[in-house]
Amino acid sequence: MAHIKVADGIPGIRSLALFRPETGQPLYALAEVLLRGPSPLTTAERELIAAFVSYRNNCMFCYQSHAAVARRLYGAAEYLVSEVVNDLSNASISDKFKSLLRIAGKVQISGSAVSPEDIAAAKRLGAGDREIHDTVLIASVFSMFNRYVDGLASFTPTDKAVYDEMGKKMERGYLLRSESPEQKN
């Protein structure tokens, strides 16, 4: 049960954004820019960064929902999501993307945990400034989102099918709109 009075049955950050749309709208707009806007990182990679950071923060709502989107975007390679969260070092992704995820993991702990050596390693593997920037910003924003959702004890579904359905909707982007019960995220 949420720590504040939000609409029943609307999960995660959506219930909080609907509780206070004047703050929810800019948060959703930020998610849209970060996860769907132009970037040298693919949409799947950006969703995986969000899922990875959320997993490390133990925010099950954000992890499950963004992992569902990442799985859809990776298609036949959906197994990458589990590989990354379970064993990043041996995941079947490029060394460059591993270095970016390591940076995201450090940001999840503390922004100051990112060292010049982490950045140099990513650059040696071909990461550009924009990829590093977007990785750090996504990791930072999702750490905040995770704390927002968990700090107010927002409703977190346990049924995988609910997240699969969310993944379908979130794949199209991030929009905050008023909802009736049949429109739930």
Whether 97 shows a pLDDT value over 80: the answer reads yes
pLDDT above 90 as % of the chain: 92
Q: Domain segments of the chain: what residues? A: 12-171
pLDDT score, position 118:
98
Average pLDDT, the chain: 94
36 with 43: CB under 8 angstroms?
Answer: yes
Confidence of residue 177 (pLDDT cuts 50, 70, 90): low
Tell me the HSE value of 144 on the side-chain side, using a 13 A CA sphere: 10
Instruction: Convert 83-108 to b/e letters by CB count within 10 Å (16 or more is b).
Output: ebbeeeeebebeebbbbbbbbbbbbb
At the top level of CATH, the class of 12-171 is mainly alpha
| Angle 176-36-89 from CA coordinates, rounded to 5° | 120
Residue 179 vs residue 131, higher pLDDT: 131
Whether 180 shows a pLDDT value over 50: the answer reads no
131 with 100: CB under 8 angstroms?
Answer: yes
14: number of Cβ within 10 Å: 24
Determine the Cα–Cα distance for residues 160 and 67; give it in Å rounded to an integer: 11
